[in-house]
Amino acid sequence: MKDCIFCRIVAGESPARIVFHDEQATAFCDLNPAAPTHVLIVPNKHIVSVNQLADEDEALMGHLFTIAKRLATQEGIAESGYRLIVNTNAHGGQTIFHLHLHLLGGSRMKHPMG
């Protein structure tokens, strides 16, 4: 997807602070962080949102969570805690239409959600 900013980051064509990369997924710092730690974890292949997930993407989605766990430890927020968010479409507040998992931590998250 040439016009997708996250595909361009995955391909190394747009700048980002990459904190993890393998054959299936990439993680990078959010440009406009909402918390001291704010990392986005994305599948390398273009998936628009959770609505477009296929059965064969199950392992890939599990992989995103495992990366989140590893990065939380690496960032030193595993014990203090963190929040994982996936926004979908307008009511979910999705603005970039390449599926991504937000990893937020380093301060107490606000409640309630929604």
Q: Which residues are catalytic?
A: 100
Least distance CB 36 / Zn ion (angstroms) = 27
Reduced to 3 states (helix: H, G, I; strand: E, B; else coil), residue 73 is helix
Q: Select from 1, 4, 5, 60 the one that contacts ligand AMP (CB under 6 A).
A: 5
- Alpha carbon distance 73, 80 (integer Å): 10
Identify what 30 binds: ligand AMP, Zn ion, none; CB under 5 to 8 Å per kind. ligand AMP
- Rounded to 5 degrees, φ, ψ at 30 are -65, 140
Least distance CB 90 / ligand AMP (angstroms) = 11
The one-letter amino acid at 49: S
Asked if residue 95 binds ligand AMP (CB under 6 A), the reply is: yes
Hey, which residues between 40 and 79 contact Zn ion (CB under 5 A)?
Answer: 46
Tell me the torsion sign for CA atoms 2, 27, 50, 84. Answer: negative
Among 25-33, 50-58, 61-69, 103-111, which window interacts with ligand AMP (CB under 6 A)?
A: 25-33
**Residue 70: which H helix or E strand, with range?**
helix 58-74
Give residue 25's Cα distance to chain centre. Answer: 9
Contact footprint for Zn ion (CB under 5 A): 1, 4, 6-7, 46, 98
Which residues form the interface with ligand AMP (CB under 6 A)?
5, 16, 28, 30-32, 40, 87, 93-96
